[in-house]
Amino acid sequence: MAASACFDAGCQRCPRLVAYRNQSKYRYTGYHSAPVPAFGDADPRLLIVGLAPGLHGANRTGRPFTGDYAGILLYQTLHALGLATQPVSESADDPLELCGVRITNAVKCVPPDNKPTTAEARECLDFLRAELIAHAHARVIVALGRIAHDAILAASAQKRASHAFAHGAEHELPGGRWLVDSYHCSRYNTQTRRLTAAMFHTVLARAATLAGLPPPGP
């Protein structure tokens, strides 16, 4: 699968998202303000799928979950599990590397109010589907939130009714793959304690085990 099929840096499919990212480009000088590519291991065993770039996070930095609140818990947890070389990701040119893990989003462009429409999520399915095909060694896919969960199922040609979203749920997918669900590591979820650091660590540790990634050292 060609890399170009997995990502289009100049995508114009969704007029509302194109207008919003262009608005951010002029309003916030120096922001990435374009579709955000995946980040991490080129041949991952674990693929993490989020919702969409945050306005002042990935839309600013050009790297998923980098520079915003949602990325704090994600990168801290990956580092604690031995899957990231540092616990903090602040810019796209910092030295952080992921080990056996790749991070992408169900929707590649920043949406107003962090809420893509159903049609916008559907437009991005081609890219997610291409990513799932390209990363054939990714045996486990983690969905951060229901929208990512639904996108993964759609990209895998699976029915939602047979795979209900629930934090910590595990769903067997075709080809020996597993989908593991987690609440999104957003500021709202962590501040309301809907998602705690311990809960998130448990889910990602289980996903890493299913993917056959090595446990963290002593």
Domain assignment present for 9: no
- In angstroms, rounded to a whole number, what is the distance separating the alpha carbons of residues 54 and 33? 10
Give the CATH number, domain containing residue 119: 3.40.470.10
Domain assignment present for 13: no
- In angstroms, rounded to a whole number, what is the distance separating the alpha carbons of residues 213 and 101? 9
> Is residue 141 scored above 90 in pLDDT?
yes
Domain assignment present for 10: no
pLDDT tens for 66-116 read 998 999 999 999 999 999 999 999 999 999 999 999 999 999 999 999 999
Domain assignment present for 8: no
pLDDT tier, 44 (very low <50, low <70, confident <90, very high otherwise): very high
Q: What is the pLDDT of residue 214?
A: 79
Total domains present in the chain: 1
With a pLDDT cut of 70, the percent of the chain lying above it is: 96
Tell me which residue range forms the domain holding 180: 32-211
Four-residue CA torsion sign, 95, 180, 62, 130 = positive
Domain assignment present for 15: no
pLDDT tier, 2 (very low <50, low <70, confident <90, very high otherwise): low
| Overall size of the chain counted in residues | 218
Domain assignment present for 17: no
Bridge partners for 173 per DSSP? 177
Amino acid letter, residue 35: P
19 SS3 class: helix
- In angstroms, rounded to a whole number, what is the distance separating the alpha carbons of residues 60 and 206? 31
> Residue for token digits 């979820």?
189
Mean pLDDT of 3-16: 90
Four-residue CA torsion sign, 63, 67, 73, 78 = positive
> Is residue 218 scored above 90 in pLDDT?
no
Q: What is the pLDDT of residue 5?
A: 84
